[in-house]
Amino acid sequence: MIGSARFGSLLVALAAGLAPAGREDPGRPPALATLREVVPGAWAWRPTRAGMDAVASCGGALATPEGLVLVDACANPKGLSAVLALVAEVSPAPVRRVVITHPHEDHEGGLPALGADVEVLRHPLPSADHELAPGLRVLHPGRGHTDSDLAVLARTPGGDVLYAGDLFVNGYVGYLGEGHLAEWGTTLRALATLAGGDARVVPGHGAVCGVDRLGFYADYIDDFRADVRRHFEAGGTVETYLLPARYDHLGARYFLPENVRRARALWEAGEL
């Protein structure tokens, strides 16, 4: 769980994870999110600048014979309500279930916007590869961003879509402050194998992309782990560590001090 003090800095961090600004109607408040159909029957939302506090994270909606399944629930009820209005424009089906990928406020704070009849699913589920509906699986491929990450894999006639939660963020250093750094890369590669090379990937933050980006992020995590370990072994401190310049293109760098503190704690525990 990200505490409220930490969450404030998280919201600042998320400003970089925004959807491109859409056309704005001067008579209406700006949209808080964009919604796109990744493949027929599988949608992904992404916060706009106006939605950075309320929507904050990416998520999705999936059509099933029994109604819609949501993946994650935004940061607060205002955000999720805005997303639900966008979803209602593309599907008249009721929301039946929501999968919370992990217990961070920016992914679950909007849950009160859903009716009490909506089933909420979290880790642990009955199995690490749980079939929720035909072609729709909820996966716990191992520890990574937290110890309880879930991903959702939808296989549809129009293509496969993986909703990765914060196991994968696209274009950012990511928040590693509760991460299991020695396992995260392995978890991501297992997830990529399960998804298959043609899957589209909806990250926890950032733009929809191909499954190859999971490999990049896994390599980055492993590279950071090895680099920061060398730094500590050579007598370096949390304060003196610098992420290699080859990652200068990654945004949300305000997470770096906390990421290095996490690496230090794992190193001191012999778990890095």
Query: Where on the chain is the footprint of Zn ion (CB under 5 A)?
Result: 104, 166
Closest separation between CB of residue 184 and Zn ion, Å? 13
Closest separation between CB of residue 166 and Zn ion, Å? 4
Nearer to Zn ion, 135 or 251 (CB): 251
Nearer to Zn ion, 8 or 40 (CB): 8
Cα torsion for 85, 88, 93, 98, to the nearest 10°? -40
Closest separation between CB of residue 94 and Zn ion, Å? 28
> 111: helix, coil or strand?
helix
All residues at 6 or more sequence positions from 79 whose CB lies less than 8 Å from its CB, including other chains: 32, 33, 47, 51, 53, 54, 55, 56, 109, 110
**Would you list the DSSP string of 19-64?**
PPP----TTSPPPSEEEEEEETTEEEEEE-GGGTTTT-S-EEEEEE
Closest separation between CB of residue 165 and Zn ion, Å? 7
Nearer to Zn ion, 132 or 164 (CB): 164
Greatest Cα-to-Cα distance within the chain, rounded to the nearest angstrom: 60
Nearer to Zn ion, 8 or 197 (CB): 8
The 8-class DSSP code of residue 90 comes to: H
Closest separation between CB of residue 145 and Zn ion, Å? 6
Nearer to Zn ion, 48 or 57 (CB): 57
Give phi and psi for 229, each to the nearest 5: -65, -45
Tokens 């194998």 belong to which residue? 193
